[in-house]
Amino acid sequence: MDPQNLTHISKFLLLGLSENPELQPLLFGIFLSMYLLTVLGNLLFILAVSSDPHLHTPMYFFLSNLSLADIGFTSATIPKMLMNIHTHHRIISYVNCLIQLSFFSFFGCMDNLLLTVMANDRFVAVCQPLHYPVIMNLHLCGLFVLVSFFLSLLNSQLHCLMVSQIAFCTDVEIPHFFCDPSQLFNLTCSETTIKNILVYFIGAIFGGVPVSAILFSYTRIVFSVLRVPSSGGKYKAFSTCGSHLSVVCLFYGTAIVVYLSSAVSPAPRRGATATVMYSVVTPMLNPFIYSLRNRDIKGALQRLLSRQAYSCL
């Protein structure tokens, strides 16, 4: 196939998770339900935190920002997928593909960095509880979120810049439900050695460094907790990290599967299920994981809902 100049490529064909017509209504129903649950769950979590002064702490501040990032993360891909299934029109323009890629990379990186910041927050809370209010002050928390925002923006623009330099072949079918960067690189007809090195380098910086920081934080937490004499104290210390650790394992576990599968084999749709797990299922489950055994959040939600019910009377 002859490579085309990028300016001559105006659209891509998104093949989706399945081309079976009989499965399309089922996929539409499942993903619409998951998307609505994600948006409503995360918005409700944000409202509960913002409405209760007792929850205006660093941990819930980071969780609220994580909920915002999760809404953006799913909104970058799922609405377009639902529209494609509903209209039976799977075309996405080149410009919209770059926009979708940019938002997906931005919010995905934002999730990544916020989880890292939250691991540091848990490390300070467990290992230095007496100094926690001083160390994790409002200015530092705001700085953490601001730095995460600008680093995510940088990551997003780097991905967009790399894709914009690709010379695509005449076959511009993307075997995915969105403009996945790894799938776009598989469509190139130009030399990709340098681009692959750059992709792995960016992955090591924006993926490897946060994972290493999380592992370091939890290693220190484990050693600190093991020195606690009472079993009750150990349980209380570990319980403060359980929800965050569950989300970290779910998010990074599936993301690593996608990253390795795309690197090992460019087979169509490989890793698509894992992509759904970390880009759709994890954002949907996050508010429930953090609220399931959290009395503060449950109490805030009850007070919020009761106020709303009283105001409607």
Q: What angle do CA 204, 137, 117 make, to 5 degrees?
A: 20
Query: Which carries the bigger pLDDT value, residue 79 or residue 292?
Result: 79
pLDDT one-digit tens code per residue, 173-183: 888 888 888 77
- pLDDT at 4 > cutoff 50: no
Average pLDDT, the chain: 83
| DSSP assignment of 105-152 | HHHHHHHHHHHHHHHHHHHHHHH-GGGHHHHT-HHHHHHHHHHHHHHH
The yes-or-no verdict on residue 3 having pLDDT over 50 is: no
Ranking 120-124, 141-145, 179-183 by mean pLDDT, the lowest is 179-183
Q: What is the pLDDT of residues 199-209, one digit of tens each?
A: 777 777 888 88
Domain residue spans in the chain? 11-311
Q: Is the pTM of this model over 0.85?
A: yes
Assess whether pLDDT exceeds 70 at residue 193: no
Angle at 151 between CA 77 and CA 68, to 5 degrees: 45
Q: Write b or e for each residue in 131-140: b if 16 or more Cβ atoms lie within 10 A of its Cβ, otherwise e.
A: ebeeebeeee
Q: What is the mean pLDDT of residues 164-172?
A: 74
The average pLDDT across 242-271 equals 72
CATH number, span 11-311 = 1.20.1070.10
Q: What is the mean pLDDT of residues 221-244?
A: 79
Say whether pLDDT at 33 is over 90. Answer: yes
Is residue 231 scored above 80 in pLDDT? Answer: no
Share of the chain above pLDDT 90, in %: 35
Give which of 179, 113, 119, 180 is closest to 150, Cα–Cα: 113
